[in-house]
Amino acid sequence: MRKENIHPEKYPEPEIKTLHKAPHWTRALGVGVVVMGLAIGTGELILWPHLITKHGPQLLWAAFMGITFQYFINQEVARHALATGESFFTSSSRVFKWFAPFWLLSAILLYIWPGWAAAIGTILQELLGFGSHILWAAASLALVLVLTFMGKAAYTLLERSLKVIIPIFCALLLVNSFLTLSLVNIQEAVLGMVNFGYLPEGIDITVLIGAIVFAGAGGLLNLCISLWYRDKQAGMGKYVGRIINPITGKTESVSFKGYAFHPDAQSMRRWKEWMRFIRIDQGIIFWLLGLVTLVLLSLNAYAVLGPRGIVPEGLNVAVAQAHIFGQHWGGLGFNSFLIMAFLMLFSVMWTIVDAFCRIVSDIVYVNSHAGPFKKYLGALEPISVSHLYYGLVVIMVLMSGLLLPLRQPLVLLTISAVLGGMVMAVYTPVLIYLNNARLPKALRPGIITNTMMVLASLFYAYASIAIIVHYL
């Protein structure tokens, strides 16, 4: 067997393998559920209800635009992952080596804050009527730790849990919407989604841009899709290996190199099946259901709080609505809304912990084995990616617990979203380049997808410049 020659300063060349057959489309549902959970618990539960209550449903065009851009971004991240088995973080670092530390630093700046834990603590304190928000926030972090170490494969447990949480959330949302909304509200929302370009006087542009970024996963969370599909063993990810709990299961050997396949007739039939798999997962679950929940959550806040002149900030969006529901529908309305908010914020916190640890462990693991940073990270080479991931989960939960007194209000949430938008301005053109220059011609995106990706790239670049100018 020929010995593989890997230059110590370069990432290894992809290994040629066979593209395996895609499963039935019903098994496609999974990563879209995870990303939808992120979307609901960030912009849809907090930022968009705040904006729509303050400025009206005429602004919903911006939410429609934001979640549509992210559908195409998610599809293209998945396309590259399925074709190569690599994460975006490795593929982009092949183009420019300094992307590796840039993504690492960005992940830390964006996701180290325990804002979601503080949010959960506030809601549980309101729901249960005793204890402090710090105590309940710490308890929710401990629950993430317990759940993470319960499962054999990290991603599998997360996906299965969200497949239970999301339907419960949607059922509660539909009940609350039925009790609250009128046909006039629905008509206002539909007209607002096609009211492109409308900007009300006095709107805070940073909050709007942050909300557009969070009309979906936002920031680096969209890029983590490449890691989630890989752990789902989609496409060429089958050959990479999964993150397995070193306590409850036998760890798998995880590859640090990419894979490729010959685009022959059989492979292209299978490729089209895989892309249909992605479009169902991201199109129906993430985009369609995500858009419906965003609109309903925003309209509920507008219909309940708007007539009273209440424009709550941050987490008070959920708490204030719960109190109004309680006035109209008693304890059932109050509790159902808070339970709905708790379910979504908990799923967001858990998913962000997973995404952060997955991103960092992937970058460290790959660069400790190959590439220009191996000389700095080579000492970590003997550590498996599974041990890196689960170790990081423990560290992040402990750090979040220590940072809990620094609660994350709307201002810090907005800053995080704005930084996420700046990161998106960087990686969207890189993703366009990777999929149009580095993939075989037969696997590249079509003109509609490329047009939407270019528009998204221009928007995030404009938004980043506008924010910088605004602050200067």
Domains parsed from the chain with CATH numbers: 15-471 (1.20.1740.10)
Instruction: Look at residue 86 and tell me whether its pLDDT is greater than 90.
Output: yes
For residue 406, the model assigns a pLDDT of 67
Cα 416 from chain centre: 13
Instruction: Look at residue 273 and tell me whether its pLDDT is greater than 80.
Output: yes
Q: What is the CA radius of gyration of the chain?
A: 22
| Chain position carrying tokens 């752990």 | 231
Return the DSSP state at 236: G
Select the more confidently predicted residue: 235 or 128: 235
Average of per-residue pLDDT across 366-374: 93
% residues pLDDT > 90 (the chain): 43
Tell me how far apart the alpha carbons of residues 236 and 234 are, in angstroms, rounded to a whole number. Answer: 6
Instruction: Look at residue 5 and tell me whether its pLDDT is greater than 80.
Output: no
Q: In 112-264, where does DSSP find H-type helix?
A: 115-128, 133-150, 154-180, 183-193, 205-213, 225-231
Average predicted confidence (pLDDT) for the chain: 85
- Taking alpha carbons only, the member of 146, 154, 151, 164 closest to residue 231 is 154
For residue 42, the model assigns a pLDDT of 59
For residue 127, the model assigns a pLDDT of 83
Q: In 380-436, where does DSSP find H-type helix?
A: 385-403, 410-433
Instruction: Look at residue 325 and tell me whether its pLDDT is greater than 80.
Output: no
| Position 316 confidence tier, pLDDT thresholds 50, 70, 90 | low
Select the more confidently predicted residue: 288 or 320: 288
| Position 340 confidence tier, pLDDT thresholds 50, 70, 90 | confident
**What is the tens place of the pLDDT at every residue in 227-261?**
999 988 899 999 998 888 887 767 677 888 899 99
Least confident of 207-221, 368-382, 398-412, 421-435: 398-412
For residue 269, the model assigns a pLDDT of 96
The phi, psi pair for 440, rounded to 5°, reads: -55, 145
| Position 164 confidence tier, pLDDT thresholds 50, 70, 90 | confident
Instruction: Look at residue 416 and tell me whether its pLDDT is greater than 70.
Output: no
- CB-based contacts of 427, cutoff 8 Å, min separation 6: 88, 92, 223
Pairing of strands 259-260, 15-16: parallel
Select the more confidently predicted residue: 133 or 17: 17
**Both tokens of residue 238?**
């089958």
| Position 134 confidence tier, pLDDT thresholds 50, 70, 90 | confident
For residue 360, the model assigns a pLDDT of 96
For residue 3, the model assigns a pLDDT of 40
Q: Does the pTM of the predicted model rise above 0.85? A: yes
For residue 66, the model assigns a pLDDT of 92
**What is the tens place of the pLDDT at every residue in 184-223?**
999 999 999 999 989 888 888 877 887 887 777 778 889 9
Tell me how far apart the alpha carbons of residues 168 and 297 are, in angstroms, rounded to a whole number. Answer: 15
